[in-house]
Structure 1
Amino acid sequence: MVNYELKIFTSTSAWSSTLNYVYIKLVGTNGESERTLVSGSTCFITNVVSCVTLTCHASLGELVLIEVDKQPFLMQYDNWFPAKVEVKSPEGKTYSFPIYRWIIDTLRVYEDHNHIGRYSREQELKQREKDYCWDEFASGIPHCMKTDDIHDLPCEVRFSFTKEIEFDFTAVTDLLQSKLHGLTESQKKWTTIDEIGRVFSCRTTEISEYIREHWMDDELFGYQFLNGVNPMMIRRCSALPSNFPVTDNMVFLHGQESLADEMSNGNIFLCDYKILDGVKTNTINGKKQYLMAPLVLLQKTPDGKLMPIAIQLKQDPAEDNPIFCPTDSEYDWLLAKIFVRSADSNVHQLNFHLLRTHLLAEVFAVSLLRNLPMVHPLYKLLIPHTRYTLQINFLARKKLISADGVFTQFTASGGEGMITILRSSLSSLTYSSLCMPEDIAERGLEDVPNFYYRDDGLKLWDIIHRFVKGVLSHYYKKDDEVQKDTELQKWIGDIFEHGFLSHEDTGVPQRFTTVDELIKFVTMVIFTGSVQHAAVNSGQYDFGGWMPNAPLTLQRPPPTKKGEATEATMLATLPDVNVTVQIMDTLWLLSQQSSDFVPLGQYPEDHFTEETPRKVISDFQGDLEVLSTTIRVKNRKLELPYPYLDPAEVENSVAI
């Protein structure tokens, strides 16, 4: 007779314990053990390591699989979340089987060294293909996971108890607070800026207070194209578009150069919202809403600031489409900037936030869960970066972009326009624009001063790339090993088909041929779901909580002549009270950090057991800690800090 010493680790997550009877079977190259009861009714408690001895008639050889199942105690079924099982053989060798999944009935966990492991691998993927099916929310946009009810999501991808309670509590509290003030039903217009301020003052941050004080300033207007919640629109301008006829006598340039000279010197920048041209706008409170497709020209001044010098609110030049400049009357210029900020907010929410982080992260996650078994190194590397993504996206489709969702009801692009923008955004999306070093270079922004999104983001890209290379190079020594990995090729094939709808012109790979290709793509996947999402999500309330700075809808058309706009014109253009409050509440909810937030590079679930990847993870965490300190020191010196890409504030996944 020989003994196997088992250590069974139950997760630290709430409700992860079980009162059921737990049975384990060991399978080795020389045979298998009996299915053995390893618990009474109270053995496996949250955050407890249970030690069990399992006796066999003879050695089982090399262990390749464990089978775990449960039976009800007193007819009561529950789910159990074991972390891992460690088995010490009679020969003194320790085997580690990471689990980190909810067990409802039976689960097999294995090392893939022989036909038994391969068979279990195949069976696991067959079940996953049933659990994670593709669906289409709307034609022309990335596909999503098929599920009709939040409770149909597999337990392993659901919110924790903590996250569920906090998320629901915040949402209900926000709504109740607004209702108690009688604001959610009020279709009145704002009559003064102070009225908006009284509502806003109920919920502020240091940065949102700064925005309230400075939102009319040209300097802040320009700054937001670099370090606001949407740093993705601006690009260097070497020649004016033919539909933007700005001349030297229209603009005041900071310095003595002509516009042509300033473009030649690399000091002129353009934001072009042509993607919004012709989009059908919403009707809110019975009133048609307005969303322009502006062009904005900015100049880098000798002191390194980015200042707006010209705005045209519609794409086609015309007499009733004047080019506005800072030298125009106060409210002409302010209204022009408000229409730009509204356009920017809609493009930000739909293209750069929803499409390029949430929807793509869901595609990456569903393809991972369908095509890669738990023992695959890429599964182990990426599964922490999918945490909560499927549930948060289900809630987004149900609460934000459904027929009665907040964004559908209360934004200018809600409804038909939303799908139009998403389709146009996907059709113009490129692989290079998802890879930060290439995106910055393509937009000509390598040397723009005070560009903290770029500075922090490029450092994070390099750190993540070094981490991914360290892990994957341990498993893939040669290019042909990548080419022969059929599971890996199915993963990227599914992403190309269901995420990018098989559009070859995106430049997204359809299969991997080299290790370097794989490393770059996986770097992009992790960066998109963590760093890029933080950049376009975390500051939503900071920059949008003060509604006049980022109105998601406007209810009067833009001025067609100069010299007629007044403060009353501006107030009548801004969204009604109920629209303002609904959006403020939503942005506040989407900016809140959960108490079970997991920062970038922290892996509570110990999926890797080999020494090399564990060392790479440790180095990754050290690099992130150093960068975090550097960013915090920098931010203490800034009048308006940029905290969003501090690694300690970046979540591992799209989880909010």
Structure 2
Amino acid sequence: MVNYYVTMFTANRFAAITFNNVFIKLVGTDGESERRLLVNFRRASAFAQGSMSRCTVSCPSSIGNLVLVEVDKKPLPLFPEDSWFPSKVEVKSPEGDIYTFPIYRWITDSEVHRFREGTALRVFEDGHPYGRYNRDLELQHRKEDYHWDVYAEGLPHCMKADDPLSLPCEVRFSFTKRTEFNFTAYTGRAEMQLKGLADSQRSWTDIDDIDEVFCFRQTELSEYVQRHWKEDALFGYQYLNGVNPMLIRRCTALPKNFPVTDQMVFPHGQSSLSDEMERGNIFLCDYKRLDGAQPNTINGKKQYLMAPLVLLQKSPDDKLMPIAIQLKQEPADDNPIFLPTDSEYDWLLAKIFVRSADFSEHQLNVHLLRTHLLAEVFAVSLLRNIPMVHPLYKLLMPHTRYTMQINFLARRTLISEDGVFTKFSASGGEGMITILRKSLSSVTYSSLCIPEDIAERGMGSISNYYYRDDGLRLWDIIYRFVQGILDFYYKDDSEVQQDSELQMWILDIFEHGFLSQAGSGIPQRLTTVTALTKFVTMVIFTGSAQHAAVNSGQYDYSGWMPNAPSSLKLPPPTKKGESSEDTILKTLPDVNATVWIMAALWLLSQQSSDFVSLGQYPEDHFSEETPCDLIREFQRELDGLSAAIEARNNHLEVPYTYMDPEEVENSVAI
């Protein structure tokens, strides 16, 4: 007889314990063991949270190299079946070899579950018949659990689910995450109800009244925005380092529909637009994707959503300042170009219309579509096409954490027919789908890759663009890490080409995420290790760094409503000289629209206590020495960047923290 020494690890997470009997079978290249009951002297606490349970499995002779383990559990008489979260199994063979079998998932039934040995294997090198059979069976079951669904025609497809409990256990919120999320949402609603604000359809009569609501939920930066929101410098700064740093581009020629003249912006002849463009000092923000979208009706009142054009200039002291605003796309006598030299309220009102447009552009295109919806496509395709033993699963699975449940909740509570953004934003309802469809048609592969996006927008040299600086360094660090992992597993391009599971993953993304639009530049097939490295880097960057950049500051910049109104109740001015403070108050959203959006933004800006920062991998999916070394090097590089960002921020009036690796979550989880 030969002995195999088995250690079963139960995860250190809430409710991971099981009181059921647990059984294990070892399967090797030369045979298999009997199904064995795991028991030890601790019995009742053998599978408690954070525990290890050991037993010996004896076989008549060696069963060779271990391929997989079969694990199942059965309830004791009179005991109910419970849920259990084992983390991994370790087995020491008679030859002294240590085999690790990653699990990291809930087991909720009495079925047999099979888990492969931790060494990563592509499909073409998985030579054991039982290993290949299990690989195919795993993907078959996954495709039964993860179905594509169409939320709306013309949008990326999503995970089919009727409610959060219908999601597979492995992608649901933890108890901690669910409890904290629900508590924050509930307390926000309760506070609004107690103050009588949730149903108030009245207009604001004084800006100070908004402060009475705002003061209960503040951050250092939201307070700064409240003090400075009227200033041109903050208006321009937000295009670089606010929640929408993606729209601005260097302007080399004015659009034909934006007839700004030298006399308008340089009335004293101190310069010219052509000279300033030549120097690289003129920038354009064009909200053309919003043009033609049907504005919402809120509290029975028609709302207004413009598609402005904004011209900005870099000043000698390196500030980005707005110099001209046109609120509608087509020039006309009743569509004046507003200038900083206009009256205080004309200019402020024009900026408010722009900031309201930016709210919709940011929420729908930059945030919802380009991070949440695409991250879900990447995750569903991964789970449908890539088995646990594949190196791509091991690399990307941590970057899918909570994504499907947070997106389900967004579809149910934010953008559904009765959702907060649907009811209380100008782009809610019919307009939302129109804007999202236009946005998807404008998404290109290069725009999802920050080095190419920055170059294409001509934003490589402007000062104080911390989103660019931190984003490019993060991209490089992630790229080197991904390159190291993939180079270890894929020795040449032919191995990429013959990996059928990998090719199905990318094809699913092309078809279900980008609706087979070849013009997007998204590859339908990957043929080189370099192309695979770039695409995987984009996937990780999108779900971590890019999402943090456009999500984490939502309350900072939009919590003070006048800086980013979700909707506006009056049409834009058609003449200059007719605006006043009263005009602005009558234009801003009603009280209930203000507080509901404010509560939603507060919720979406809160980190949970089980937050996992970029590069931290609590679950050991990799077992080989080289990938583990690469993970440690990845973490060291991220720590170095975090220290550099902290040192820079110490000298800034407005610190930029959203892409500090310590503040970036591994996945789209909020």
**Under TM normalisation by the shorter chain, which class is it?**
over 0.9
3-state SS of 1:524 partner: helix
Pair 1:453 & 2:467 matched: yes
Match status 1:45 vs 2:59 = no
Residues in 2 aligned to 1:370 and 1:82: alpha-carbon distance in whole angstroms: 22
Match of 2:135 among 117, 121, 126: 121
Q: Does 1:354 align with 2:368?
A: yes
Structure 2 residue 559 is the aligned partner of structure 1 residue 559: no
Q: What is the deviation of 1:254?
A: 10
Q: Displacement of 1:178 after TM fit?
A: 1.0
Secondary structure of the corresponding residue to residue 648 of structure 1? coil
Check whether the contact 1:29–1:64 (CA below 8 A) recurs between aligned residues: yes
CA distance in structure 2 between the aligned counterparts of 1:276 and 1:472, rounded to whole angstroms: 40
Of 68, 91, 95 in structure 1, the residue corresponding to residue 95 of structure 2 is 91
Q: What aligned pairs does 1:377-392 form with structure 2 within 5 A after superposition? A: 377-392=391-406
Q: Distance in 2 between matches of 1:399 and 1:229?
A: 22
Deviations 1:283-341 (A, max 9, x none): 00000000000000000111111000000000010000000000000000000000000
What SS does the corresponding residue of 1:86 show, helix, strand or coil? strand
Contact 2:38 2:54 in 1 (8 A): no
For 1:206 and 1:52, locate their aligned partners in 2 and report how far apart those are by CA, in whole Å: 55
CA distance in 2, matches of 1:425, 1:379: 29
Offset from partner CA, 1:38-58 (integer Å, 9 cap, x none): 034431111112221111121
Q: Aligned AA for 1:58? A: S
Distance 1:499 1:210 in 2: 38
How far 1:9 sits from its partner (Å)? 1.0
Report which stretch shifted further, 508-517 or 56-65.
Answer: 56-65
Output the CA distance in 1 between the equivalents of 2:659 and 2:496.
Answer: 32
Please name the residue that 1:375 is paired with: 389
1:110 aligns with 2:116: yes
Distance, in Å, in 1 between the alignment partners of 2:44 and 2:504 is 42
Shift of 1:252: 3.7
CA contact (8 A) 2:266 2:272 kept: no
Deviation at 1:255, TM superposition (A): 9.2
Number of positions where the alignment pairs a residue of Structure 1 with one of Structure 2: 656
1:30: which partner in 2? 30
Residue type at the aligned position of 2:64:
G
> 1:85–1:99: 8 Å Cα contact kept in structure 2?
yes
Q: Distance in 1 between matches of 2:265 and 2:45?
A: 76
Aligned AA (2:48): I
Match status 1:7 vs 2:7: yes
Match of 1:81 among 82, 85, 91: 85
SS at match of 1:647: coil
1:248 partner letter: D
Change (3 A) 1:117 1:38: same
Q: Find the residue that maps to 1:122 and give its secondary structure.
A: helix
Q: For residues 235 and 417 of structure 2, what CA distance do their matches in structure 1 show?
A: 33
Identity of aligned residues (%): 70
1:483-498 equivalent positions in 2, closer than 5 A: 483-498=497-512
For residue 182 of structure 2, what is the aligned residue in structure 1?
168
5+ long unaligned stretches in structure 1? none
Alignment partner of 1:57 is 2:60: yes
The aligned amino acid for 1:643 is T
Alpha-carbon deviation of 1:257?
2.0
CA distance in 2, matches of 1:404, 1:380: 38
Match in the other structure for 2:72? 69
For 1:87, what is the secondary structure of its paired residue?
strand
- 1:411 aligns to what? 425
Work out which of the residue numbers 321, 329, 333 in structure 2 matches 1:307.
Answer: 321
Distance 1:196 1:254, change over 3 A: farther
2:331 corresponds to 1:317: yes
* 1:253 Cα offset (Å): 7.8
Instruction: Write the deviation string for residues 372-428 of structure 1: whole angstroms up to 9, x where unpaired.
Output: 000000000000000000000000000001100001000000000000000000011
Deviation at 1:75, TM superposition (A): 3.5
Q: Deviations over 1:41-90 (max 9, x none)?
A: 43111111222111112111111110000101234111111111010001
Q: Which residue of 224, 244, 258 corresponds with 2:272? A: 258
Kept in 2, the 8 Å contact 1:274–1:294? The answer is yes
Give the aligned CA root-mean-square deviation in angstroms: 1.0
Retained in 2: the 8 A contact 1:255–1:302? no
The equivalent of 2:457 in structure 1 is 443
Assess if the C-alpha contact under 8 Å between 2:147 and 2:160 holds in 1.
yes
8 Å CA contact 1:255–1:301 kept in 2: the answer is no
2:201 matches 1:195: no
Distance (whole Å) between structure 1 residues aligned to residue 208 and residue 581 of structure 2: 13
Find the counterpart in structure 1 of residue 122 from structure 2: none
Match of 1:601 in 2: 615
Structure 2: how far apart are the matches of 1:183 and 1:113?
Answer: 65
Letter in 2 for 1:463: I
Question: Structure 1 residue 8: deviation in Å?
Answer: 1.0
CA distance in 1, matches of 2:153, 2:268: 47
Q: Distance in 2 between matches of 1:446 and 1:182?
A: 49
CA contact (8 A) 1:10 1:47 kept: yes
Greater alpha carbon shift after TM alignment, 69-78 vs 295-304 = 69-78
| Cα distance in structure 2, aligned partners of 1:49 and 1:71 | 19
The answer (yes or no) to whether the contact 1:29–1:61 under 8 Å persists in 2 is: yes
Instruction: Give yes or no for contact 1:134–1:144 (8 Å, CA) kept in 2.
Output: yes
Distance, in Å, in 2 between the alignment partners of 1:494 and 1:201 is 47
Counterpart AA for 2:220: E
Q: Classify 1:542/1:130 alpha carbon distance in 2 versus 1 (closer, same or farther; 3 Å).
A: same
Secondary structure, aligned partner of 2:45? coil
1: CA distance, partners of 2:19 / 2:422: 45
What residue is the counterpart of 2:123 in the other structure? none
Distance 1:462 1:292 in 2: 37
- Within 2, Cα distance between the matches of 1:256 and 1:630? 39
State whether residues 27 and 66 of structure 2, in contact with CA within 8 Å, keep that contact through their aligned partners in structure 1: yes
**1:113 Cα shift?**
4.4
Distance in 1 between the 2:113 and 2:635 partners?
A: 32
Tell me how far apart the structure 1 counterparts of residues 146 and 194 of structure 2 sit (CA, whole Å). 41
* Whole-angstrom CA distance in 2 between matches of 1:12 and 1:519: 33
1:605-616 to 2 correspondence within 5 Å? Answer: 605-616=619-630
Q: Which runs of 5+ in 2 are unaligned?
A: 118-125
8 A Cα contact 1:253 1:309, kept in partner: no
Task: Give the ranges of 4+ consecutive aligned residues of structure 1 lying more than 4 Å apart after TM superposition.
Answer: none
Q: Does 1:284 align with 2:287?
A: no
SS at match of 2:264: coil
- 1:146 counterpart residue number: 160
TM-score (ref. length: structure 2): 0.97
In structure 2, do the counterparts of structure 1 residues 193 and 221 end up closer, same or farther at CA, with 3 Å as the change threshold?
same
Measure the CA separation in 1 of the matches of 2:163 and 2:269: 60
Write the deviation string for residues 445-501 of structure 1: whole angstroms up to 9, x where unpaired: 000000000000000000000000011110001000000000000000000000000
Shift in alpha-carbon separation, 1:118–1:586, aligned structure 2, 3 A: same
2:342 counterpart (328, 332, 335): 328
Alignment of 1:468-547 (within 5 A): 468-547=482-561
Quick one: distance in 1 between partners of 2:44 and 2:522? 51
Residue from 344, 351, 376 that aligns with 1:337: 351
Do the aligned residues in 1 keep the contact of 2:46 with 2:52 (CA within 8 Å)? no
Secondary structure, counterpart of 1:23 in structure 2: strand
Pick from 243, 249, 257 the counterpart of residue 229 of structure 1.
243
- Secondary structure of the 1:211 match is helix
Q: Is contact 2:10–2:47 with CA below 8 Å preserved after alignment?
A: yes
Q: Once the 2 structures are TM-superposed, how far is the Cα of residue 636 of structure 1 from its aligned partner?
A: 1.2
